[in-house]
Amino acid sequence: MVLHTILSTSHTTDHTLKALAMRLGYHNPKKGVIQLRKFIHAGSIDAWLESDMYDFKHTALTFVKALALELKVDISNALEHSEKKKLRAIALSKLYVEIEVDFQRTSEQIMVLIARQNQRIIRVDTHLLVDKEDSEIFNIYVTKIKEHYQNTKGDLGIWGKVHGYTYYHINGTKYSYAIDDLT
């Protein structure tokens, strides 16, 4: 946040942005100015690093490190925090709910079943979960399960009637919910 404050208050003129871009190693200052403006617009180091920017001179990470070095700002805590969030997001991406149905294949084509497999899985966007505690995440998924059952009225079309849900939590445990638990 410190970098954004410095840039947005003191380095926003075209002339100063071009000079800063040259000091960051850009031979074409226009490209450097574009990246600096994108960085300012990103609003935070986390958002910038998530953008996976690459412009043949810098990656998102090398850009922010070079910028911090040039402006003499310590960003080690921000980078450490961002790395922890990234690792947590990776761990949270493995969470899901599997919907248990009474499906028995008769004449359905295998490609149709493969294409519709996602109807039997519930996931929540990991960006919404990163800053939450495990108990909050658990409650979010329980709410999603209840909403799903109410929205589908217990029927998944080609897959048949819903018999239950199995939630696979971040700590490795799984929780099963019968339909009676949801109503």
136 CB neighbour count, 10 Å cutoff: 11
Average pLDDT over residues 25-35: 90
The domain segmentation of the chain, as residue ranges, is 2-87, 95-182
Report the alpha-carbon distance of residue 93 to residue 100 in Å, rounded.
21
Report the alpha-carbon distance of residue 7 to residue 162 in Å, rounded.
54
Beta-bridge mates of residue 165: 99, 177
Q: Is the pLDDT of residue 9 over 80?
A: no
pLDDT value, residue 100: 92
pLDDT value, residue 123: 92
128-155 pLDDT tens trace: 898 898 889 989 999 999 999 999 998 8
Question: What is the chain's mean pLDDT, rounded?
Answer: 86
- In 3D space, the residue among 75, 84, 109, 95 whose CA is nearest the CA of residue 171 turns out to be 95
54-78 pLDDT tens trace: 888 899 899 999 988 888 888 888 8
Q: Is the pLDDT of residue 169 over 90?
A: no
pTM > 0.75? no
pLDDT value, residue 98: 93
